[in-house]
Structure 1
């Protein structure tokens, strides 16, 4: 489909119009692009739209049209929905994406790629669909426009599943597979800044494969993920709501399961604390990868009588349907993340600070203030070493780790953000005092004010930057694709 990367991607004479011609796009016959080699200026995006429209017709919609409004209203957070791109392009194959990237380079019109749109960062995301199970059913090809609802339902009749997101319609395939779930990818089909379409695996374009395993959208646009499947029928799981008085028992159960998962890795847990209207409650999201209600690893959890309990045996698809109610579309959202060495006393300190700082924004109308806790377990960290490891720089000797995700749902973004920045800073300082600090920040939960890549360690950051320069000499994915977490900075600065 294209000439080899060493010749084309790095060549000093690289000519965008020549590569477009190889793709079947003759710039000279497009009035807006005729004679154009490189472009800048306010009319660049108008030029890009006119060109895309001439080439792809109805697959391109302009601001103000019916298709545009429907697309823009399908974002999880109100911040993303408020961003108004000049046009929306629906590519149908990798070559279409290649043409888009090259036209962006030619016109210098910025772009973003949307998978599920489950980000709380305005401008972070904005591609669509396809799920194909391999003949031996050991892998599935998934295009990044899918959300996990599509993937799980597509695999359910064959009694297979994949490692993915826990909310059916909000979380997209693309963002999660370039972050936390990257170790379950066998290959990435990716369009580079030169328009080259390559398949990156642990043995082919292995440097690019490694960079995509946690490096986010800094190296190209992924147009297909080949994911490993696992046999999966019904499984035990759901949510239990607990009273404030039950929080100490819940914390004990959470800590003990997090420190002792090795003998039964089928168990998963998320413990959340929520404050709404002054009322404090906790919820435990529990799953076991078999339809087994009394697995011994959940003995402490099962000893706590919940106020509300919807746990039962469900398919993975059904579980994500149930959990979607806690992730409504169209609200103001603010995500933050930090990790620490797992420790009960530190967790209690973090919870106290969460309540204390939250009291300072008690007057914010319709505030739903939540703090979710997960454990990055030793088995998880060990499995990250497959396929040559990933970019995250998680040290097995430092685990298990506590991952926190403060996620207030409220207006007054700046004021709320200041409070949660303070929460992160205070707890990090305390963790350092106790020798329990970790620099890792989980990209998919991070705030736009957090420098995620810096948390991967200086060595990994330098290696990522070197790989980016190799595949993207003009910094297309640093400058023209402006949203989300870049290699040298956070997306925004907190004033």
Structure 2
């Protein structure tokens, strides 16, 4: 199998230019932008310009795109490297100011090279070009424009590869890669940089070259400004020769012009390796003055050969309305311009060199043009569908010149980079344009995935700010080199920090970076490959306060950050707990399946989504995001063929195999409500849930495997359906797990593998309202009838993603092994929705902790490089009892250990931390419920000390904890301790009461299926204005909360809630039982065990053993 194209993504996230936050090292911080500018002046740094000055206005207006014409508090124009160094030192040591770096100012991304209400460091005075004939090097300032560079070098008979448009700046193009006419002969322009002069985050001036600071040298070649501010580029020159160039313009509507250009560019890309002096770019562009789309071809030969044969197919296309050819040099060639005075929107995609894909891109461009014609208020817009050839030979040139971090050297297939651009007037037109451009990008990405032409490479200099251009491989190059770290003197006096992705911490608008973190020489914190999402407790505290004081603002921002929306929401939150009606993200539309699969499949199609560990370990397999997309789509088609429509319920009664995840996401994809039923429940329990949910389709398996035992799942389904004629099931879809002979009902039963073969690999996801139901999950209540808890699409998905990110500190390259089954809420949230929504690999484990031996968990963790492990204390108690000799694997990647479902005893916590985690892992003991959807109280991995007993300070000196765990309230969760009799708030300490929550949060359940009154009475009416958890809690004298047992008739067995009434009802069906009462008792292994007191009928005195069997079948426990 070929390597993943993920490896081709480049290291840097920013387009040219950088915003940053200076952090003080020793002195007190000054944060006001105005004061920051005065501090700079007071330090004696010249050329500081304020809004009332002419130079200030000129610098604002000099930005090419209106989107970059922001208004800083001041511009600072250093004249040389020493002044840049002094400026950085002043900002870092004496202020906490936000600032931006500007080179040429030719970016369309707002905030990439300018800043609102901050300090913009404008390098335009560093604009000289000097040539040294003795060395053959040209020293070029970062503030230069390429036209000025060429005008200096052309008369000297030398040249350098640079921008094809003269107004483009030097700094951004060279640090971001750099496409030039010489791209196919010499590689990217950055590959011709001999050395850099660089100012680092502490103000130190260093040189980076192939002999000095070599890792910094490599990082700057494609890593943008993320690793320092380049103040001089020393480029290797070549002897200049004349350039033959041709420009041809064809109307798109002229005959076969479009297809001829597509065929021509495709052929040239495939042939260019054999003639590397040639260059060809082709783009479709709508021009409002012409009121039509035209095709422009720019052809060139840098050896001076006129009309080279390799370009003949493009050069001879008939019907040109304009055609010019000339022998020229770069000074004349670069006189071409781009339209100025617009608000510009860009995006980039890369795909294999394929005619059908090129045609699709052009078709979607045409769709954009027509929609803009119809909807644009002024009709004044310009577009480009620009094809930048990317033949594989470019990577070879990069290797020959010392390597870079662009990733192209791993490209095996010839490819094409698409630059899609739209220029509009006004903010309202920009909003419209962004919507249309996003549709173009998404539609083309979907097409390339289906056509197997997708290349998840995003060229930095063409990327929109929202597009991630990060590659894991190149991060490894930058941070896993201890020798270079020890050699480098670049950290100076800066305090130790951790490295996160591109070396910056996102601070404002997704683009602002902390310059302090801009130094990739800083090594990762021990046990953590990336910087935690929350770096310290006070950052958590700030966010928590925000979530309580301004929940709509907080959750609205987080929802837009973590989820992809088909339609943005208009109202973040509506209703209160006192109103007894709560809804979130009103007007918003999204799809959970898309968020869990498509957006990752488009970006990293070959990344592993699911690792399946079968019961005995003989049928293990891995599934990529692309494969998961295909499987889910095909199953979704099957469900639609079976008559399932949006809003219908589908029952899922499957063992823990990837097919269970596939079934869940297939339902979500078409808007069906999935009802997963634990594949250990009896036929009676299954029957009751099928009737209550009105499920017409059930997905099951022939058999299941667990702990070496075979479970006759299909037989249980047949028994349930046949036991009651009112059951609505009309179709049974059967996954072949073992291949055993099973009963079969023709017309009703269908084989999974046969049905999915009939359907294609992609089905568009259904647009779902945020408050549409996503799933219902039955949980035990205090009465006999189970409750079908309903969770909605938007709120639940946000809770799953947010807790995965902040509680578990999940990062894209992590792997989460949650031992919970999908029949329970733990499996729903932390096997399926949380990891997959974040693009994290999830483990689906079919077996039990000690089969075939007690080392099974630890062997899986080690073999698959698991970073996060999440399991119930019951399993931990069982594993501890088997002996520590089974923990014989190093498990070096393990970083976070989670506990779920019940309190964890101190001795188990200590064993988990010291023995399993080797003392290096964060232990995350989580409190939540089926009804809460996701964690509500838990320590946060990465910022809370993993040692037991350490205090966790929260707001107003309130500390939350249990016996050995440090706990933070999750965002939006405000607890209250209530008097169980009066419902009044208990303010004092050393008291017990009922644990309740004061305000709603997005992932809370919305209703009980078919019985909203029961929902209101159970959770919202018990204590008006509060959410009732059903749990007791104690607050001690120090302000710690100790979570206790239930206050209702529910027993917690191994983390699973079982209703005493439901168990009593089941036992009462046995003929020998006259009366029965069930209570929970303490149990060392399961936490609680079911204890049944039954009165037998005298004439059936011989039948009590059957009663014991019945209880064991329901609860898995012994009886009395």
TM-score between both structures, scaled by the size of structure 2: 0.38
CA offset digits 1:69-110 (Å, max 9, x no partner): 1111111000111x1111111112212111111222121111
Matches within 5 A, 1:270-285: 270-277=281-288, 279-285=292-298
Residue 203 to residue 481, structure 1, CA distance change in 2 (3 Å): farther
What secondary structure, in the 3-state scheme, does the structure 1 residue paired with 2:395 have?
A: helix
CA offset digits 1:166-200 (Å, max 9, x no partner): 1112x110111111232111111111111111101
1:451 matched to 2:465:
no
Matches within 5 A, 1:41-80: 41=31, 43=32, 45-56=33-44, 58-80=46-68
1:316 is displaced (CA, Å) by 0.6
Residue 428 to residue 436, structure 1, CA distance change in 2 (3 Å): same
1:430 is displaced (CA, Å) by 1.8
1:440 matched to 2:440:
no
* CA–CA distance in structure 1, aligned partners of residues 329 and 508 of structure 2: 37
Q: Who is 2:102 aligned against? A: 114
What secondary structure, in the 3-state scheme, does the structure 1 residue paired with 2:64 have?
A: coil
* CA–CA distance in structure 2, aligned partners of residues 280 and 153 of structure 1: 33
Could you tell me which of 293, 299, 303 is aligned with 1:290? 303
Could you tell me which of 356, 369, 373 is aligned with 2:383? 369
What secondary structure, in the 3-state scheme, does the structure 1 residue paired with 2:405 have?
A: coil
1:174 matched to 2:183:
no
1:344 matched to 2:355:
yes
Could you tell me which of 222, 228, 232 is aligned with 1:224? 232
* Structure that is richer in helix per residue: 1
What secondary structure, in the 3-state scheme, does the structure 2 residue paired with 1:111 have?
A: strand
What secondary structure, in the 3-state scheme, does the structure 2 residue paired with 1:335 have?
A: strand
* CA–CA distance in structure 2, aligned partners of residues 465 and 416 of structure 1: 39
Kindly indicate whether the alpha-carbon contact (under 8 Å) linking 1:243 and 1:282 is maintained by their aligned counterparts in 2. yes
Residue 175 to residue 334, structure 1, CA distance change in 2 (3 Å): same
Kindly indicate whether the alpha-carbon contact (under 8 Å) linking 1:237 and 1:313 is maintained by their aligned counterparts in 2. yes
* CA–CA distance in structure 2, aligned partners of residues 483 and 92 of structure 1: 30
Residue 238 to residue 426, structure 1, CA distance change in 2 (3 Å): same
Cα root mean square deviation, aligned? 2.7
1:354 is displaced (CA, Å) by 1.9
1:311 matched to 2:325:
yes
Residue 136 to residue 484, structure 1, CA distance change in 2 (3 Å): farther
Could you tell me which of 65, 84, 95 is aligned with 2:71? 84
1:149 matched to 2:147:
yes
What secondary structure, in the 3-state scheme, does the structure 2 residue paired with 1:84 have?
A: coil
1:38 matched to 2:28:
yes
1:331 matched to 2:342:
yes
Kindly indicate whether the alpha-carbon contact (under 8 Å) linking 2:111 and 2:512 is maintained by their aligned counterparts in 1. no
Larger Rg over CA atoms:
2
Matches within 5 A, 1:168-207: 168-169=166-167, 171-180=168-177, 181-207=189-215
1:377 is displaced (CA, Å) by 1.7
Kindly indicate whether the alpha-carbon contact (under 8 Å) linking 2:175 and 2:225 is maintained by their aligned counterparts in 1. yes
**In the comparison of the two structures, how many residue pairs are matched?**
451
Kindly indicate whether the alpha-carbon contact (under 8 Å) linking 1:340 and 1:438 is maintained by their aligned counterparts in 2. yes
* Structure that is richer in strand per residue: 2
1:415 matched to 2:429:
no
1:426 is displaced (CA, Å) by 1.8
What secondary structure, in the 3-state scheme, does the structure 1 residue paired with 2:250 have?
A: strand
Kindly indicate whether the alpha-carbon contact (under 8 Å) linking 1:142 and 1:225 is maintained by their aligned counterparts in 2. yes
Kindly indicate whether the alpha-carbon contact (under 8 Å) linking 1:112 and 1:483 is maintained by their aligned counterparts in 2. no
What secondary structure, in the 3-state scheme, does the structure 2 residue paired with 1:64 have?
A: coil
1:301 matched to 2:314:
yes
Residue 345 to residue 331, structure 1, CA distance change in 2 (3 Å): same
* CA–CA distance in structure 1, aligned partners of residues 246 and 316 of structure 2: 16
1:418 is displaced (CA, Å) by 2.0
Kindly indicate whether the alpha-carbon contact (under 8 Å) linking 1:358 and 1:369 is maintained by their aligned counterparts in 2. yes
1:378 is displaced (CA, Å) by 2.5
Kindly indicate whether the alpha-carbon contact (under 8 Å) linking 2:351 and 2:417 is maintained by their aligned counterparts in 1. yes
What secondary structure, in the 3-state scheme, does the structure 2 residue paired with 1:113 have?
A: strand
CA offset digits 1:132-173 (Å, max 9, x no partner): 11123622111101010111111010121111111112x110
Unaligned runs of 5+ in 2: 1-22, 114-121, 178-188, 519-529, 534-559, 569-1120
Kindly indicate whether the alpha-carbon contact (under 8 Å) linking 2:394 and 2:408 is maintained by their aligned counterparts in 1. no
Moved more, 337-346 or 227-236: 227-236
Residue 344 to residue 66, structure 1, CA distance change in 2 (3 Å): same
What secondary structure, in the 3-state scheme, does the structure 2 residue paired with 1:146 have?
A: coil
